């Protein structure tokens, strides 16, 4: 599962009544795998409008990633460093648990 997918999932169990607790889903005792993929800036800019930035930041912190941008730049398409990091986190980092 990519972090892109994780960012769009939420708990739909009847006991998940508190919106603050059912999104984003918590990742506990998870291994991370990085699977390289080609970068598509048009796709990334489109996804940037759809992802929940605060949830993505919270997940990245939970996973121990320290160099993720805290804010979206005013012109992300012109910020090579931001676009590369956003691509890596959203499209290449895959949490998994093989236990």
Confidence of residue 99 (pLDDT cuts 50, 70, 90): very low
Q: Which 3 state secondary structure label does DSSP give 33? A: strand
Give 96's strand partners. 31
Q: Angle 95-26-71 (CA atoms, 0-180°, nearest 5)? A: 80
**Which structural domain, as residue segments, surrounds residue 52?**
3-96
**The two structure tokens encoding residue 24:** 């984003």
Residues 35-75: tens digit of each pLDDT: 899 999 999 999 898 888 888 888 788 777 778 888 999 99
Domain count, the chain: 1
Full-model pTM: 0.70
- The pLDDT of residue 98 is 46
CATH of the domain at 87: 2.20.25.10
């Amino acid at each position: 599962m990519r972090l892109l997918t994780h960012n769009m999932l939420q708990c739909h169990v009847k006991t998940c009544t508190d919106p603050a607790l059912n999104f984003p889903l918590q990742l506990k005792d998870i291994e991370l795998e990085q699977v390289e993929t080609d970068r598509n800036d048009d796709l990334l800019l489109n996804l940037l409008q759809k992802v929940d930035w605060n949830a993505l930041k919270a997940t990245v912190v939970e996973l121990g990633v320290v160099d993720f941008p805290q804010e979206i730049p005013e012109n992300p398409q012109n910020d090579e460093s931001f676009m590369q990091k956003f691509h890596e986190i959203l499209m290449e980092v895959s949490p998994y648990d093989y236990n």
